[in-house]
Structure 1
Amino acid sequence: MLLGTHTVTMTTALPPTVAAHVPTGVLIDGSWRPARSGRTFEVADPATTEVLFDVADGGEQDALDALTAAHEAFPAWRATAPRVRSELLRAVFETLVARTEDIAAIVTAEGGKPLAESRAEVAYAAEYVRWYAEQAVRFDGLARRAPSGGNHQLVLRRPVGPALLITPWNFPIAMIARKVAPALAAGCPVVVKPAQLTPLTTAYVAEIIREELADRGLPTGVINVVPSSSARSVSGPLLADPRLRKLSFTGSTEVGRLLLKSAADGILRTSMELGGNAPFLVFEDADLDAAVIGAVQAKMRNAGQTCVAANRFLVHHAVAGEFADRLTAAFEQLVVGHGAEPGTTVGPLIEQPAVTHVETVVAEAVDAGAVVRTGGTRPARRGYFYAPTVLEGVTPDLRVVSEETFGPVAPIVPFGSEDEAVALANGSDFGLVAYAFTRDVGRVMRLAESVEAGMIGINRGMVSDATAPFGGLKQSGLGREGGELGIEEYLDPVYVAL
C-alpha cells in the first residue's frame, strides 16, 4: 500500500495511528502508486486551514489505466457467484463498523463535521453496504409462458459494465458506499473519482475493499480510485472511451448537465443526484416542538452543506412568529467549533468561497429588508466558520430563498393557505426533497400528490435511508440510489424468447 510522502498535521481530529493508514496514491488494479505526472495536491482541515496530506494528483493516463483495470476485471467479476459478491460486501460492512472511530476521525479531519455526525455517517454508509450485500443474491427476474401461448419468456439481469463513480465532498463515506456497494453487488467494476476536498475517506474505504478482494483471490481491478485536482482530466477521457458503460454522479446541477452532454456520445447509463432547494413547510396545526427539532435536523447537518438541507422555511402566518422565536432559541444553543472538540454541534464550511457565498446572500437579504434574528456573522476564530443564522422578513425572490445556500442559514417566509404553500414549494427548478409538518392526514396525502419532490419527509427532518430510493425530480437529477431501485441502475434487463 502506498502511503506516499505527505504532511500530517497533528490535530485532535486525526490521530497519528489513523493517519498512518490512509493511502495517498491512485489505486489501480490492486496497487497504490503515485500519479504518472508525479504531481500532488493538498488536503486541508477546514476548521484550521492546516494541510493534512499531499495526495496523488491523477490525470488522463491514470484514469485510462484505471479503466483498463476495470475493463479487464469485468469478465471475471460478472461471472463471480452472487453469493461470493454478497459475502465480500458483508465483510466490508463488518470492517466499517469495527473501524467506525478511525473512519469518523478522517471524515471530521478533512470535511469538518462534528464527530457525532461523522460517526452517524459511517453507520449510514455501512447500512448501504449491508443492504446491497443482501440484494446481491436477490435480483428480480421473470419466467413465464407468453400470453399468446406460442413461446416462453425469460427476463434476466446482467451487469452493465465498468462504471465511473464521481462523489461529492460533503458525505465522503456515505456517497462512496451508496455507489460502490450496488455496483459491486451487481457485478460492475468501478473507477472512483473522489472529491478533491475530501479524498482521504474514499482512499481508506477503498483500501478495505481492496484487502477483502485480495484475501479472497478475487480480481483487484474491481475497484480503482483516481483522486485529482481536475475532475475534467479524469472524467473527460473516461466518458470518451467506449469501454465505460455507466456514469454515476453526485454534485451540482451545472456540472451534471456537462457530464450528461459528454455521456450522450457513448449512450451511457447515467445516474444523476444533483442540486436541491428543499422547502420546509410548517402548517398552522403543526406540533411546533417537533417542527423545530426537525428544522434543526434538516438545516444544520454538516452546517447546512447537504443536498437535502432545508433551504426555504415556509411557515403559516398564524405560527410564523412563534416558530421564528423557537428556532432562534434552538440555533442559539448550537455550539460552533472544530468537529473534534467535545461539545461541538456545528463545524466549519468546507472552504473560503463557501463562506463568502453565505455572507453575500445574507447581506443581500438584509439590504432588502430581512431581519437577522440570530447569527449573520463569522465567529472570531481560525477556519471557515459561519454562525447559525435565522432570517425573518424574507421574500421568495431573494437569493437566500431562490438558490441553494449550502450553509447554516434559515430564511423564514410566511404563507396564508395550503395552496399558497404548495405554490411556493413548487416554485423552483429543483425537486429533490421537501419537508412538511402538519397533523392533518388528509393534507399529508394532498401534499404527497402535489409537492414536486422525489422525497417528502412528514413530521421529520430526515428522509435518507439505505433501504429507500433516494433521488429527485426536475433539475435535481435522474435515477435513484438506495433501496431495490439502486441496484437496477447497474443492471441491464435481457429478454429471452424461448
Structure 2
Amino acid sequence: MTLLSNGTGAGTGTDTSSDTVVPSYVLDSWWTPGEGAHAQRVLDASTGAEVARVSSDGLDLAAVVAHARTVGQASLGELTFHQRAILLKKLGQYLGGVKEELYELSARTGATRYDSMVDIDGGIGVLFTLSSKGRREMPNSQVYIDGDVEALSRDGSFSGQHIYTRIPGVACQINAFNFPVWGMLEKLAPAFIAGVPTIVKPATPTGYLTEAVVRHILASGILPAGSLQLISGSARDLIDHLDYRDLVAFTGSAGTARSLKAHPNVVEGGVRFTSETDSLNAAILGPDAAAGTAEFDAYVASVVTEMTSKAGQKCTSIRRLIVPAGRRDQVVAAVSERMARRVTIGDPRAEGVTMGPLASTGQRDEVLASVSRLIDGGGRIVMGSVDAPTGTDPEGAFVAPILLAFHDPESPAVHEIEAFGPVASIIEYTDLDHAIALAARGGGSLVTTVATHHPDVARTLVLGIAAHHGRVLMLDRVDARSSTGHGSPVPHLVHGGPGRAGGSEELGGIRSVLHHMQRTAIQGSPDMLTAITGEWHTGAAVRTGIHPFRKSLAELRVGDQTQGGPRVVTLADITAFAEATGDKFYAHTDAAAAAANPFFPGIVAHGYLLVSWAAGLFVDAAPGPVLANSGLEKLRFVTPVSPGDSIRVTLTAKRITPRETDEYGEVCWDAVLHNQNDEVVASYDVLTLVAKE
C-alpha cells in the first residue's frame, strides 16, 4: 500500500534535478536521490520563490527500518531511563543555542516570530519537560513497574507484578506541515526516553525546517547511533515493512489517517497506530460572561489569538464559537474590533506583521474552498473577506481572518467542515444542555474552552462535554493571564481526543513514554520478581550483618536488611507524646471514649509516635553514607497498639536509584512494624539520600 502524504502540496509540478534536494538522514549518513529523480518544489509562503526541492525516490525504506531495529535498538538499549533523559536535556540546551537560525528559516514557512516561538521553543520545551519528568518519575533502570504487587498465594511464595518494557521495533512519526519542529520533538522525546528509535517523516511543505533541526541534532553528537532517522519526501511503502513490534504516530488529516489505519499491517499485523487529526474545536461563552466581564474579554482575546496564531493552521484552533442566544452580535463586534486593532497581515519578516500567510498556495486554495462550502451550508461572512488581504504579495498564500455566522446552530456544515486556516464560525445556544449538545456535534475534538466564573455552570458544561474532548480549558478572571491558552498542548497533559480528533493521545508526561512500551504481567516467586524488576519484593532473599546505613550506593544492594526492637509502649509514653505535640485526640487521652470507639480496645498509641520510635530503632546514628531523610510514602496504620504492647521494626533496601548527575542517589526502604504477636502494626516506605561512595 502507498503511504499517502500528510501535507498539502507545496508547489507547482516536479523537477528532475536533485542538486538542491532536501536530503534524508538514514543509516547514520546523509542521503539524496540519484540523477533523474523527480523532486517536488517547495515555495516561500509569502513570495512564492523556490526554497527547496524534496524527493525520496530510490530510498530503501526496508533498510531504514532494519537499521532502527538493530543499531538503534542496541545503542538505546545500553542506557537507562535517566541516562536517556539527561541526553534530552543536553539536546534541548544545544538547540536553544541555535534557534535564531531556525527562526530565520521558519519565516519562509509563513510563521511570524511568535509563531516560530510556539513551534521551536515549544518543541525545545518538551525536551526539557520530558527530561525532568523522566528523571523524577521513572527509575534509573530499564524496567518500569506499574502498580503494586498482587499476592497470588496465601504463603507469599507466588505473586504477580505489572511491568513496562520498551517495544522492540521503531517509532515511525508522520508529522503535519504546521509544526515542523514541535511536531517532531514532541514525538521524539517520549520515544527516546522509552528507548525506542525514531524515524521522522515530516510534511513536504515545511520539511526543510525539520531537516535543519535534524542537522543540528546530529552536529551536537548527543544522540546514540541509529536513534534518529529522517525521511525527506514521500515515505511510500514504509508501513509495508512494519509489524507488531513497531509504532506509527500520525498527525494530519482524518482522511489520510483512515487510509493508513486500513493498511493490512495495522489491521492484521498488529502495528500500533495512533493518530491526531482534524478537530472542530469549540469555545463556549458561559451565560454569566456578559460584555464587560473579565470572562467575556478573555474569551474574545482567545478567539482572536487562535484564529491568527500560525494563521489558524493549528489542529487545536477554535473553529466554533458557541455563545448564549442574543449575544452573537456583541461577540462579533468585539472580535472584529480586536482583530482590526491588533492584527497586521503580511510577510512575517516585515516589521509590525503579526499574522503571516498559510504554508502554501495549495493550502490557501483548500481553505477558501472550505469557506465556500460553509457559505453553501448556511453561513454568512460577518467579519473578513475571501479576497486577498490588501498589500500582500499575490504570489503568497495569504488569507484574511474570516468569521461566519450561522442562523441555524444545528446546520451540519458548521459541525462538519473545517477550514484549516484563520476561519471560525459563530452559533448561539438556548441553554447549557443545548451548548453541550452543540459542542458534541463536532464528533470528538481535541479541546474546548469554557469561559465562565460560575462554578455550577463550569461543572455542568465540563461534565457534559468531557467525554467528547481530550482537553477542556476553564477560562475565567483568575487564570486569564496565567493560562497557557486554548491552542497550546503542554507536555505535562495529554494531547488528543476521541472520534474525529483521532481517538488517540500524545504527551501527558510519562504516559507518553509508556505509549512506546509494552505492559506485561509477570508471575513468580518474590526472588524472581526481585531479579526481574530490580526492586525488592516481600519474601525475597535478604542480607544482614553490616548495618545498611554504613553502606554507600556502590556497596548497598536491594534486600540489605536491619531489624530493631522490641520497645515496650507505656501509657506514660502516650501521655507525654500527646502533651509534647498537642495531639490530644480522645483515642490517646480518654479511656472511656477510646473504649467506645469501634476501632480501638481503649487508649492507643499515636501512629506518629510509633513511626518516630521506629526510626530510633533502625537508624545508625553516626555520620556515614546516609545524608538525609527525604520523606515517607504509603504509610498505613494497620493494628492499634495499647499500653503494654511492644513494637519492633524491619527495614529492607527496596529500591536504589543513583542520580546520574549527582554524587548521591535515592534509596527507598521497606519499613514494617510488628507487635509482640507478630501482627503488622504499620507499613511504609522510607526515602533517604545516600552518597555514591
Using the size of structure 2 for normalisation, the TM-score is 0.64
Give 3-state SS (helix, strand or coil) of 2:469's partner. Answer: coil
The partner residue of 1:416 within 430, 447, 451 is 430
**Per-residue deviation, 1:87:** 2.1
Q: Which runs of 4+ in 1 moved over 4 A?
A: 364-369
- Deviations, residues 25-69 of structure 1 (Å, cap 9, x unaligned): 1101221121357633322211111111223x1146432232122
1:357 maps onto 2:366 in alignment? yes
| Cα gap change, 1:134 to 1:62, in 2 (>3 Å) | farther
Residue number in structure 1 paired with 2:115:
117
Contact 2:84/2:192 (CA < 8 Å) preserved in 1?
Answer: yes
In the alignment, the residues of structure 2 paired with residue 50 and residue 493 of structure 1 have an alpha-carbon distance, to the nearest angstrom, of: 50
- The partner residue of 2:283 within 272, 280, 283 is 280
Q: Distance in 1 between matches of 2:225 and 2:339?
A: 47
Q: Quickly say closer, same or farther: Cα 1:461–1:297, change in 2 above 3 A.
A: farther
Q: Does 1:453 align with 2:469?
A: yes
CA offsets, 1:426-466, max 9 Å, x none?
Answer: 11223221112111112212222211111111215344111
Amino acid paired to 2:250 = F
Which blocks of at least 5 consecutive residues in structure 2 are unaligned? Answer: 1-19, 139-143, 290-294, 476-484, 525-693
Structure 1 residues 394 and 59, CA, compared in 2 at 3 Å: closer, same or farther?
A: farther
Give the 5 Å matches for 1:38-49: 39=37, 40-49=39-48
Whether the 8 Å contact between 2:68 and 2:170 is mirrored in structure 1 is: yes
The residue aligned with 2:254 is: 253
Q: Which residue does the alignment assign to 2:547?
A: none
Deviates further, 308-317 or 457-466: 457-466
Q: Structure 2 residue aligned with 1:491, among 506, 514, 517?
A: 517
**Alignment: residue pair count:** 468
Cα deviation for residue 136 of structure 1 reads 3.8
CA contact (8 A) 1:29 1:222 kept: no
Amino acid at match of 2:257: G
Q: Which moved more, 1:371-380 or 1:430-439?
A: 371-380
Aligned pairs (5 A) from 1:58-457 = 58-59=56-57, 61-73=59-71, 74-109=73-108, 111-137=109-135, 138-139=137-138, 140-142=144-146, 144=149, 146-148=151-153, 149-160=156-167, 161-212=169-220, 215=221, 219-228=224-233, 230-231=234-235, 233=236, 236-242=237-243, 245-262=246-263, 263-286=266-289, 287-333=295-341, 334-366=343-375, 368=378, 370-380=380-390, 381-382=392-393, 383-396=396-409, 397=411, 399=413, 401-451=415-465, 452-457=468-473
The CA deviation at 1:75 is 2.5
- 2:34 and 2:62 mapped to 1: Cα distance? 11
1:494 alignment partner AA: T
Q: CA RMSD in A?
A: 2.3
Alpha carbons of 1:294 and 1:108: their partners in 2 closer, same or farther (altered >3 Å)? same
- TM-superposed CA distance for 1:279, in Å, is 1.4
User: 1:365: how far off?
Assistant: 4.7
Distance, in Å, in 2 between the alignment partners of 1:465 and 1:409 is 24
Q: Percent identity?
A: 23
Give 1:167 shift.
0.7
Alpha-carbon contact 2:178-2:314 (below 8 Å) kept: yes
Tell me how far apart the structure 1 counterparts of residues 454 and 473 of structure 2 sit (CA, whole Å): 14
Closer, same or farther in 2 for the Cα pair 1:103/1:23, shift >3 Å? Answer: farther
Q: Is the 2:281–2:320 contact (alpha carbons within 8 Å) kept by the matching residues of 1?
A: yes
Give how far 1:393 is off: 4.3
Q: Larger relative contact order (C-alpha < 8 A, sep ≥ 6)?
A: 1
Which structure 1 segments of 5+ residues have no match? Answer: 1-21
Q: Given that residues 101 and 119 in structure 1 are in contact (C-alpha distance below 8 angstroms), is that contact kept between their aligned partners in structure 2?
A: no
Once residues 274 and 428 of structure 2 are traced to their aligned partners in structure 1, the CA distance between those partners, rounded to angstroms, is 35
Shift of 1:400: 5.0
For the 8 Å contact 1:435–1:457, the answer to whether it is kept is yes
Question: Match of 1:480, SS?
Answer: strand
Q: Which residue in 2 is equivalent to 1:479? A: 504
CA distance in 2 between counterparts of 1:359 and 1:394 reads 21
Query: How far apart are the structure 1 equivalents of 2:418 and 2:182?
Result: 21
Q: Normalising by structure 1, what TM-score?
A: 0.88
1:112-149 deviations in whole A, cap 9, x for unaligned?
Answer: 12122202321211111112223444434146352533
Structure 1 residues 62 and 391: alpha-carbon distance in aligned structure 2, compared to 1, 3 A threshold = same
Cα shift at 1:484 = 2.3
Per-residue CA deviations over 1:402-440 (Å, capped at 9, x if unaligned) read 311111122211221111111111112232211121111
Give 2:49's aligned residue: 50
How far residue 23 of structure 1 moved from its aligned partner, in angstroms, is: 9.2
1:81 Cα deviation after fit: 2.8
Contact 1:271 1:489 in 2 (8 A): no
Secondary structure of the residue that 2:319 maps to in structure 1? strand
